[in-house]
Structure 1
């Protein structure tokens, strides 16, 4: 029996055949910029070994001015070619194929030397670009072709020309960024000349037996974006110019519509690629929020595409395809689309990794090697830190006993999964449960651990988590209208029609979303598109509704407060914080910073703002005022003179930081 027959079917490109219909989409990792090419090779080789049909690298700059930031990796010299050859050789040794993405950032380049078709500054960069003259345009086209030729010399099986997401080629295509009145601007035929010339020149540089992918923006999601007729016209011309495959890009980086965050419904944009099917004769790839083999199989079986692009799922589990092919999807470590260790790291200048899989991009320095001296290890706490520590220790051959006072595994992940838009956390908890069940770990739930119970273990790992911080506001114990975030997210208390959320960190925002949302739009694609103002690009240019976002009315009236005078939500995730802020704004949540909490009465909360005392009327007041490490067991062990390792929230109480907790648990267990 073939599991997922459409997904696992080979794809014949004429001169070469891909072993299945999975594309590992391009991701910028930061590995190339570090200059550790053994690490780069190990990262891609692991995904090739895991069965990816075709891998696309992170974007390589065709020239200095086109790099996403100063010092961005490219393929400029003979030494660069030798470095990249290490990568392609390792991938080929594992039976894989790999293409190099050529990315010219245009006005998105984060540096003063950026260029663009017109001198219009991007809203996501402080630098105004220099408008290209005719000679400058010729140079850019020639540099694409040179990069493609060098990629072939370096052993790549193909290149992907990045023509979407608002980068240089995209900037030529739309009047939003192209105000030229010469032969490279004005009519659409002129505006798409740059894209066509790049494809033609690259095909000429590499010959016919070389994969050439063009990543087209199927839906721009910006004002004055492309019409659907223009997208189809471009796709047909790209095919004529020599493209082998048409890959999909969704939205520009500056678009105010989420496209890959966890709150985006799975396979949310496959309708646009389905419409492209039949317009061109080359294979079409669909993308965005496809993170499970069954979803990918359904997309292909319904005729939405010839191939499926998944990027972050290959960070979460390099063996995604191998496990799917073996009929073991429950064993795939799930991408939860949180962006915390991947895109947030990328846009902060850090090395990319994965919340679910700390080994991602660290394959040469974080390894779970079998131990030569098995130990008896107790892990107390079955939240993310404890679960990962237990699994890695067991994988290495230690004898592990996992304790938790709760009746279920998952710790505070079980609260996170209740937040509208975070339904992917259900899959993460299920994966942990499956992994524990298939291990040799002894599990003791509903157990309050005492120091004497840990006698006889060689190592003790405490992952006992956090407890809510008590803000000690006068009156909070007197009137029955005060609850904690735990009460709300665990369903132990129901909030009234008017709620005040005290604390505007990540938990405060989660609670505000929970309180204002009756039914999660993430579970209903039509409602989600209406909420964000997304329409059919056949009807509206760029796929944006003229009406704008049309969210469902809020389930409650909510006020979100914080003591800090800064803008609420300022410290949320770099690539997702704006989504949370916009969501609450659409739900009419009143957000206030720089307040002090004076007292709680039956009428609500009295605060001082700008030296003025005022009452916020409320039926329910929810405390999201931070956490304290739960260290009582650690303190008791220390008093008894017994050593232990403390990880996760018990070590540092910082929001619900599963990324740090899982990484810490993995690294500790790898070292024992």
Structure 2
């Protein structure tokens, strides 16, 4: 596409020329390794698919060089040193396929996680760190690494990089003087209390990272590119406490002046490019930005680094808007655009952009439910909106033996996904939607400005279903008789869910979250939101941003108590945004009844009246499965999916639909 031509100009990192300005950001490849530290077939297909989709540089997720000092358990992520023959054999198979698409591929090599190791992935106790400091998640003190252990890890980097080179990788990326991983813990004085040559002044704290690049260059040659994931600012307020955007605080981690100085030193040590972000595990919402962070949030920091060093700078961080990406390149903020989660959502992002098919790019929601949420809970990388991510072959769509007419009741996200999959396979789906548009609960859910990508997902479904010639019949309230008389070969019930409501006496000023989000009612100035789950918290922040006085009343003893699997980056940021925006919170509390002035609350055994112009219910949803219950004994091939089956989230609605529609 002529408009974005600059994004498709070649760029060099060291001796390696990359065909365009797009890199695939490294994302934890949980589930993509075999038991010997090689890439399994899922991993090979996953990375190859992104190369096939046009991405110029593939950067793998983290792989380990050491399994002795910090144990990770084989089969979680690859290791280039655990079984060299297996790694080289599987790595070579992958790199050859990636190269067929004229893409380059760098292997990301890690020194380890140290104090930030996620407990589900933690092997030996206690975890290691540069000094005896507090673990990020566990109430444990980390064990200080010895100098001999540091030297051993450095040596392993050389071996691991050489194995990567033998396996056909075009370069490596070092993980990382960023996000508070082990190398970063050495680099930051807040974590590094050592008094030997690896502690004290900045040069000493960067010695570990320096020895790594020098060892790799010595082993692999000076022309073998070595890049570094790098954060010039940490946003750490204190142990396990991060700063919010716009918050005034004292930086306990790395701040910009030292970040600039460190960047210059690291380039002088031999790093060929810096892959820039900001944040740390203590401020995880910067390193893994949820939808509550603005698009392109790393651009200002990338530009600061770019102006300080003479090597290419890569910039990630919600960079999926092509206008934003183009402006960052043109402004000189960076040399390459790094896409992580957007390439989980749509592996063909780059080719679609190049050919002008932007309407067909499936958007990332920054929900992190399929990626970081599942990594955190299940050690598995996936995607909420793309059920085939990381299982490209297993989830491949197969044409049916017999083409069927499939009636789909409901045009929410589950119904749309089912129709898309059925049409791609060759079936003839028809959607019946009782309203005048597609989207279902995604429409009110995407009302807040920070949920804009929810509405982009609806637009994507509209464009995709139109392109596939899927028939949609709007404003039809489907009855059991309509289904019985339709002549359909199969029926999918995707009728979704409706908000839970309950009687509070005088209900004239009681509304559902949907009614307020859709601006069907004026909530007034003083608002009580009943329910502190995901919907209630997002609603409260949105109202507060619109200058309302908001109180959340939550029955549980904490906010977001029943939502899962939410990535900590999302949940922790959301929990902090609530008070940061001036929202009052009453936990272990419940609403009893309305009054002329507001509402009566019972909180920890006491009752009190709160002034309120409106009471907004955000207490969950009820599955709408009446139609399914009426038909389940009458229709041979009938399925109930999404919220109609079980109230959950966007991810499981889409995954349900994909699984069922792929097998009709």
Q: How many angstroms apart in 1 are the aligned matches of 2:302 and 2:572?
A: 27
Q: How many angstroms apart in 2 are the aligned matches of 1:84 and 1:459?
A: 44
CA contact (8 A) 2:13 2:272 kept: yes
SS of equivalent to 1:57: strand
Of 141, 157, 164 in structure 2, the residue corresponding to residue 128 of structure 1 is 141
Residue 425 of structure 1 corresponds to: 454
CA contact (8 A) 1:54 1:99 kept: yes
CA contact (8 A) 2:277 2:302 kept: no
SS of equivalent to 1:513: helix
Does 2:587 match 1:593? yes
Q: How many angstroms apart in 2 are the aligned matches of 1:14 and 1:65?
A: 32
Alignment of 1:293-442 (within 5 A): 293-442=322-471
Of 240, 265, 272 in structure 2, the residue corresponding to residue 244 of structure 1 is 272
Per-residue CA deviations over 1:451-489 (Å, capped at 9, x if unaligned) read 33332111111111111223334x0xx351111112111
Q: How many angstroms apart in 2 are the aligned matches of 1:7 and 1:68?
A: 40
CA shift, 1:297, in A, is 1.6
Of 271-280 and 246-255, the range deviating more from structure 2: 271-280
Of 525, 534, 542 in structure 2, the residue corresponding to residue 497 of structure 1 is 525
Over the aligned positions, Cα root-mean-square deviation in angstroms equals: 2.0
Q: How many angstroms apart in 2 are the aligned matches of 1:560 and 1:68?
A: 43
Residue 198 of structure 2 corresponds to: 184
Does 2:163 match 1:150? yes
Of 541, 553, 559 in structure 2, the residue corresponding to residue 568 of structure 1 is 559
CA shift, 1:241, in A, is 2.7
Residue 523 of structure 1 corresponds to: none
> Structure 1 282/323 Cα, relative in aligned 2: closer, same or farther at 3 Å?
same
Does 2:20 match 1:20? yes
Of 471, 483, 487 in structure 2, the residue corresponding to residue 456 of structure 1 is 487
Q: How many angstroms apart in 1 are the aligned matches of 2:310 and 2:294?
A: 29
Of 161, 167, 174 in structure 1, the residue corresponding to residue 174 of structure 2 is 161
Q: How many angstroms apart in 2 are the aligned matches of 1:643 and 1:10?
A: 52
Q: How many angstroms apart in 1 are the aligned matches of 2:71 and 2:234?
A: 20
CA shift, 1:653, in A, is 2.0
Per-residue CA deviations over 1:357-413 (Å, capped at 9, x if unaligned) read 110012121122222311111111111100000011011111121110111111111
SS of equivalent to 1:161: strand
Does 2:497 match 1:466? yes
CA contact (8 A) 2:226 2:272 kept: yes
Of 576, 581, 589 in structure 1, the residue corresponding to residue 575 of structure 2 is 581
SS of equivalent to 2:156: helix
CA shift, 1:92, in A, is 2.5
CA shift, 1:620, in A, is 0.7
Q: How many angstroms apart in 1 are the aligned matches of 2:273 and 2:635?
A: 65
CA shift, 1:633, in A, is 2.0
CA shift, 1:120, in A, is 0.9
Per-residue CA deviations over 1:279-316 (Å, capped at 9, x if unaligned) read 32221111111013332122111211111111111100
SS of equivalent to 2:528: strand
Does 2:624 match 1:624? no
Q: How many angstroms apart in 2 are the aligned matches of 1:191 and 1:236?
A: 14
CA shift, 1:211, in A, is 2.3
CA contact (8 A) 1:157 1:210 kept: yes
Q: How many angstroms apart in 2 are the aligned matches of 1:291 and 1:164?
A: 22
CA shift, 1:255, in A, is 1.7
Residue 131 of structure 2 corresponds to: 118
> Structure 1 605/34 Cα, relative in aligned 2: closer, same or farther at 3 Å?
farther
Q: How many angstroms apart in 1 are the aligned matches of 2:277 and 2:138?
A: 21
Q: Which runs of 5+ in 2 are unaligned?
A: 237-250
CA contact (8 A) 1:568 1:592 kept: no
Alignment of 1:498-577 (within 5 A): 498-518=526-546, 555-564=547-556, 566-572=557-563, 573-575=566-568, 576-577=570-571
Alignment of 1:97-116 (within 5 A): 97-103=104-110, 104-109=112-117, 110=122, 111-116=124-129
Of 61-70 and 10-19, the range deviating more from structure 2: 61-70
Of 216-225 and 657-666, the range deviating more from structure 2: 216-225
CA contact (8 A) 1:68 1:108 kept: no
CA contact (8 A) 1:258 1:579 kept: no
Q: How many angstroms apart in 2 are the aligned matches of 1:32 and 1:644?
A: 34
CA shift, 1:325, in A, is 0.9
CA shift, 1:106, in A, is 2.2
SS of equivalent to 2:62: coil
Does 2:222 match 1:208? yes
Q: How many angstroms apart in 2 are the aligned matches of 1:100 and 1:142?
A: 17
Does 2:662 match 1:670? yes
Q: How many angstroms apart in 2 are the aligned matches of 1:620 and 1:63?
A: 58
How many residue pairs get matched?
630
Of 74, 86, 104 in structure 1, the residue corresponding to residue 93 of structure 2 is 86
Q: TM-score, normalised by structure 1?
A: 0.90
CA shift, 1:562, in A, is 2.5
CA shift, 1:434, in A, is 1.1
CA shift, 1:47, in A, is 0.5
CA shift, 1:67, in A, is 5.3
SS of equivalent to 1:580: helix
SS of equivalent to 2:217: helix
Per-residue CA deviations over 1:636-665 (Å, capped at 9, x if unaligned) read 3247566521111111123xx111001111
CA contact (8 A) 2:56 2:102 kept: no
Q: Which runs of 5+ in 1 are unaligned?
A: 519-554
> Structure 1 68/662 Cα, relative in aligned 2: closer, same or farther at 3 Å?
farther
Per-residue CA deviations over 1:471-517 (Å, capped at 9, x if unaligned) read 334x0xx3511111121111101112221111222221122122211
CA shift, 1:107, in A, is 2.1
Of 31, 38, 42 in structure 1, the residue corresponding to residue 41 of structure 2 is 38
Residue 247 of structure 2 corresponds to: none
Residue 540 of structure 1 corresponds to: none
CA contact (8 A) 2:232 2:255 kept: no
CA shift, 1:323, in A, is 0.6
Q: How many angstroms apart in 2 are the aligned matches of 1:132 and 1:628?
A: 53
CA shift, 1:415, in A, is 0.8
